[in-house]
Chains A and B, each alone.
Chain A
Amino acid sequence: MAFLFLIPAFVAFGAFSYWPMIRGLLISFQETNLVDPATWVGLDNFTALLRDPLLSTAIANTLLFVGLGLLIGFPAPLILATVMSTVRKGAGIYRFLVYLPVVIPPVVAILLWKWFYDPGHGLFNELLGLAGLGPFPWLESPRTAMLSLVIQSTWAWMGSTVLIYLAALVTIPAELYEAAQMDGASIARRLWHITLPQLRPTIGLLLLLQLVSTTQVFTEPYVFTDGGPENSTLTVLLLIFRYAFRDGDYGQAAALAFLLAIFLGLLSTIYLRATRSWSSA
């Protein structure tokens, strides 16, 4: 009887989660073009993949996005949440404002920012121009395009991270702060010796989640720049998308996806190891 209730889950997870995973593994060793029957080709897809000069470009770009995302996007929500946790009256308005960008559909947000980034009449260059700065090329130069993507992406996703930090900050026992204060610890010392260590599990988890999600960045480079200029924003997922849905080379797309899955799996494994050693320490 219980199995009747599990049928929807079996269908959803079986057909649309497990089967595509297994199949992805299979077709990465096959030649598939949707017309002829698939044929086994061994490691051909992987060797073709490694011979594509765009692969190393895409990996380097993705790592740059991940790295800049950490540099810009990781400390900002932590600082914001800490400040917000000290607000006693009107905390709701802070939370409302910080989450507002998250509810804007990503494509709309990106098109909006594309307009702001416009080197000619965009909002950003006009505003910076008032201060005598610029004009900056933003999305139009290979040197600044990826940075522009990261800034927008940080703005778009920060709100949900802030709320998770806030939820964790609330659970820190007040006695810890009181005891430290009686011992004469300054606000800065309390922040360093109580708040940060107490947040460590949350920081670790959000770090993993950010790494996993930024490694799969797609919508930003696709809508902002379509990988340009000069392939400077071509990311791994965008390359997978092009192999599959522009070139019709599903095998090579699956091969790259397979390597990406291994990389993401490694990240999660490292995280699990690290958290285990923390909790046993």
Chain B
Amino acid sequence: MSLISHVEERRPAVRAAVRTVQWLTLAVLAVIGIGPLYMTVKGAVSPATDLIAEPLQLWPGDPRPENFGTAWNDLGIGHYLLNTLQVVGGSWAVQLVVAVTAGYALSVLRPRLGTVIYGAILATMFVPYTVSMTSLFLTIIDLGLVDSYWAIWLPAGASAFNVLLAKRFFDALPPELFAAARVDGANSWQLLTRIVLPMSRPILAVISLIAIMHSWKDFIWPLVAITDPAKQPISVALATLADQAPQDILIASMAMALAPPVLLFLVFQKYVVAGLGFTGVKG
């Protein structure tokens, strides 16, 4: 963090230049970060005529908060949000179960062929699932899972990155604790639930955040796997509604669709920024 030193920053010319660049950057970030969100809220409460006649006005003269109610009831936004909640909740649970059990087995129990199994899991990172999407769809048909949320939940579990995070974290736990618990007669299940998991809250939080954000943002697989319009998550439904709904109601729907993740980010931003910045790339 010391490209520019404290001593240098006391020189007026350097200080002025650095401050100017920093403030300009902040202004640009504010415009591109908050600008679109502000426009969404403004557009959501604008009458359709204002959207066309006065796109640049800062706030509508005659705000229409009832647009939210119309979107909620007429377009079924509440229903689709509930679908998304189910999709996200299940994917999150499956990802945690797979990451914790696999990480625990490979790090603490260390079976024979453990390194081979770990390598095979990590290798899947090199083949993105979009590439095998077609055959994944045929697999879902064979298993009779089309239009069931299991079609999204189960494949979500195959995240090598989660297993890597869990295993690395468990690797760093003190092995003496495991030995002591064994001496006290704990079996593998008790060792996991009473010793390992209580110490693993930080990594569980990081995996949870990555899992939730990833599944909230996923589009292509829910689009393929859920063909019943009544079961679609909000992202897929919005892509269809975009061609049918009036502009103001559509924008109100979009505001409601982005509110949950943005609020979640506001509350947990410290963890999101730290977790995603330091652990990698899946956003």
A15–B277 touching, CB < 8 Å: no
B195: Cβ under 8 A from any A Cβ: no
B220–A219 touching, CB < 8 Å: yes
Q: Which chain B positions have C-beta within 8 A of A100? A: 33-34, 37, 262, 265
Cα A216 to Cα B130 with chains together (Å): 7
Selected interface stretch from B49-57, B61-69, B172-180:
B49-57
Q: Which residue of B has the minimal Cβ distance to A27?
A: B135
Cα A170 to Cα B274 with chains together (Å): 13
The number of chain B residues with a CB under 8 A from chain A is 98
Q: Mark A205-243, 1 if CB is under 8 A from B, else 0.
A: 010010010001011001100000000000001001100
User: Given the interface contacts A12-B155, A16-B158, A23-B135, does A105 sit within 8 Å of B102 by beta carbon?
Assistant: no
Q: Which chain B positions have C-beta within 8 A of A87? A: 22
Q: Which chain A positions have C-beta within 8 A of B283? A: 102, 157, 159-160
B183: Cβ under 8 A from any A Cβ: no
A123–B3 touching, CB < 8 Å: no
B3–A187 touching, CB < 8 Å: yes
A133: Cβ under 8 A from any B Cβ: no
B154: Cβ under 8 A from any A Cβ: yes
B2–A178 touching, CB < 8 Å: yes
A11: Cβ under 8 A from any B Cβ: yes
Chain A interface mostly: helix
User: Given the interface contacts A107-B219, A107-B235, A187-B3, does A163 sit within 8 Å of B277 by beta carbon?
Assistant: yes
User: Given the interface contacts A3-B111, A9-B101, A191-B3, does A112 sit within 8 Å of B130 by beta carbon?
Assistant: no
Q: Mark B244-283, 1 if CB is under 8 A from A, else 0.
A: 0001001100100110011011000100110011101101
Cα A277 to Cα B42 with chains together (Å): 53
Q: Which chain A positions have C-beta within 8 A of B111? A: 2-3, 6
B39–A105 touching, CB < 8 Å: no
A190–B3 touching, CB < 8 Å: yes
User: Given the interface contacts A112-B36, A240-B134, A261-B127, does A5 sit within 8 Å of B101 by beta carbon?
Assistant: yes
Q: Which chain A positions have C-beta within 8 A of B1? A: 85-86, 88, 169-170, 174
B197: Cβ under 8 A from any A Cβ: no
5 of the cross-chain contacts (CB-CB < 8 Å) are A96-B273, A98-B29, A157-B283, A160-B281, A265-B127
**10 closest cross-chain pairs (CB), A and B:** A12-B157, A2-B111, A163-B277, A2-B109, A9-B102, A5-B105, A97-B33, A24-B135, A16-B155, A97-B29
Q: Which residues of A contact B (CB under 8 A)?
A: 1-9, 11-13, 15-21, 23-24, 27, 32, 34, 80, 82-88, 93-109, 111-116, 120-123, 126-127, 155, 157, 159-160, 163-164, 166-167, 169-170, 174, 177-178, 181, 187, 190-191, 194-195, 206, 209, 212, 216, 218-219, 222-223, 237, 240-241, 244-245, 250, 253-254, 257, 260-261, 264-265, 268
